Amino acid sequence: MAKTRLSIKGRQFLINDRPTYSEIAGSNDSAHGLLMNARFIQGIFDDAADPGRFARYGAKSWDAEAHTDRLIAALPEWYSYGLRAFTVGFQGGGPCFTIENSTIDNNPFGTDGLSIDPAYKARMDRLIRAADEIGMVVIVSYFYGEQARRISEGIGIRNAVVTASRFLRDGGYTNVIIEIANEHNIPPFKAHPILQEPDGMAMLIDLARRESGGLPTGSSGGGGYRHKEVADASDVVLIHGNGQTRQQYYNMVRDCRGWAPDKPIVCNEDSQAIGNLLVCEHTGTSWGYYNNMTKQEPPVQWGVLPGEDLFFALRIAEIIGIKKDKPSLDDQYYLQGFEPEMTYNGERWPRLASLYPETINYVEFFRDGKLYYVSYDEPFSTNFHSNWRQGGVAVKKDENWEARVHLRDGKVLTRTAVCP
């Protein structure tokens, strides 16, 4: 018997007929009806091509079942901070920093789309039911660009939509939102125009809604992308904030609100740039945290880790009105990337995490006393490519790193680390 029944009333999400967060004593009215979420896209991940290469980051072996179970074990902690939804993909996502995704075989649908690998179905079922048990929603994403090419032709895509949607229908789940594709407009989907073009996507949204028995459905586009036809077809307008400044993000929300004035808008992928939460507060929309290092590189460390994870969790708790102990000023800045196991092929990804990144003007990174890099934009990483991606640094044991944090009020803080 389902415990978590999601419904939508205008712009608001309801769980068991109450606007989300309204059940929390002292919660902020402005947060009621929102759906703060995170991208846990690899929740049922596996690799038929070479699974042994994911025995890394301290893990002695790769075990897809244990990987899902560890996510399930982490959900109550995330729930306590106010996370009420997460995105998980049948075809996963990334990795973005280490292993070329085109070499991974993480497609459970087969080439014709007429079936789902039983092990993937079991993991997805286990994950959705665990979320249901504690009051969380799962945004189930069907297609990922590099994996969708493993499905033949448009008929295979349509078959897979029907197959996945009927699986969700037959499971009787009441805590699911369907995302047809992760960033349907991006180049990797060019082999399947039915996914890439707005009119094809609108048709697939209608198909999934019908075959799933009426589950709310939408599809995201790449960072900053929006399209009226997709918004019109969607029950939930899904957007991605990757690479957007706060002004650009705000403009995207305004456009979507103009097309869909009475539908909820949910960003289910942005970055570690938690300063973008300010736009969500001002626009009454929901935001999705995306940490593609700690939360997308298998084996994923699913818990609320120090630094970026914790700061995101505390910020959404603050927006919602959940009482949590706030770190001292000294503990609101964290030099990320030097955790013992978070290295691959001799590279690390140094960055400066902050509870309030809006307080930072710029960050200087010093390596063994020499200036290595200056970062001016959140999330203040070395070798910055975008707010969701950075280049790696080939490091050596016992290197001394310092982040010199120049705050907007003129103060300068330092954070140091020694490379393990």
Task: Give the HSE-up count for residue 329: Cα atoms under 13 Å, Cβ half-sphere.
Answer: 7
For 4-18, what is each residue's pLDDT tens digit?
999 999 999 999 999
DSSP state of 326: P
Domain positions in the chain are 6-320, 329-418
Cα distance between residue 63 and residue 104, in whole Å: 16
Query: Mean pLDDT over all residues of the chain?
Result: 97
Q: How far is CA 243 from CA 224, 390, 394, in A?
A: 8, 12, 25
pLDDT above 80: residue 1 = no
CB proximity list for 222: less than 8 A, separation 6 or greater: 183, 185, 186, 240, 242
Q: Which CATH superfamily is domain 329-418 in?
A: Immunoglobulins (2.60.40.10)
Q: Which CATH superfamily is domain 6-320 in?
A: Glycosidases (3.20.20.80)
Cβ(72)–Cβ(130) under 8 Å?
yes
Q: How far is CA 273 from CA 26, 52, 397, in A?
A: 27, 32, 29
Cα distance between residue 302 and residue 279, in whole Å: 26
Dihedral sign for Cα atoms in the order 185, 39, 272, 35 = positive
pTM above 0.85, yes or no: yes
pLDDT above 80: residue 72 = yes
Q: Residue 390: helix, strand or coil by DSSP?
A: strand
Cα distance between residue 208 and residue 165, in whole Å: 6
- Greatest alpha-carbon pair distance for the chain in Å reads 61
For 378-416, what is each residue's pLDDT tens digit?
999 999 999 999 999 999 999 999 999 999 999 999 999
pLDDT above 90: residue 206 = yes
